[in-house]
Amino acid sequence: MIERNFSGRMHVFSDNIDTDQIYPGQYLDVTDHQEMARHAMQGASASFAIDSRPGDIIVAGRNFGCGSSRENAAIALKASGVGCVIARGFARIFYRNAINLGLPLVVCDQALELGKSGDRLSVDLASGAVTNLETGREFAIEPISDYALSILDAGGIKPLMLSREG
């Protein structure tokens, strides 16, 4: 079961962060998830993998995860400990890949107004709100579908399907 209420530090990115920025293509032959985590967001930020901590939250604009359909980008973010990604919108295939791997994605129309990198956010999936803990400002988020929540609760699509077999 995923946490329905969690917090972490923000790392802010712009619109159109593609999968090569999330996980550069030069590392596609790497299969160890911890090694993949060391290259998370490397195409957009040279310091993200060094500065991020488990539970941190990526905040971005529109079209986060555009580009290729490979799962490596979502795997690298999850392996690096990202608690969730909040964006104005996601590329469809990235959204499915992330949810299927157990990485929560949250749509917030005002994502780039949430605050600045380093601010702490609290995300409450149950109430549909994200709060900047530094400023106290609260913003609405789109609800995650019950089916997507069931995948996240199971830790991903594979664990969900395995639990239904037994």
Percent of the chain scored above 90 by pLDDT? 90
Q: Kindly report, residue by residue over 99-116, the tens digit of the pLDDT.
A: 999 999 999 999 999 999
Q: Kindly report, residue by residue over 43-61, the tens digit of the pLDDT.
A: 999 999 999 999 999 999 9
Q: Kindly report, residue by residue over 76-87, the tens digit of the pLDDT.
A: 999 999 999 999
Question: Could you tell me if 11 and 112 are in contact, meaning their C-beta atoms sit under 8 angstroms apart?
Answer: no
Residue 138's domain comprises 5-165
Amino acid identity of 22?
A: I
| Domains of the chain: total | 1
What local confidence, expressed as pLDDT, does residue 106 receive? 97
What local confidence, expressed as pLDDT, does residue 65 receive? 98
Model confidence, pTM: 0.95
Domain with residue 24: its CATH number is 3.20.19.10
Question: Could you tell me if 3 and 144 are in contact, meaning their C-beta atoms sit under 8 angstroms apart?
Answer: no
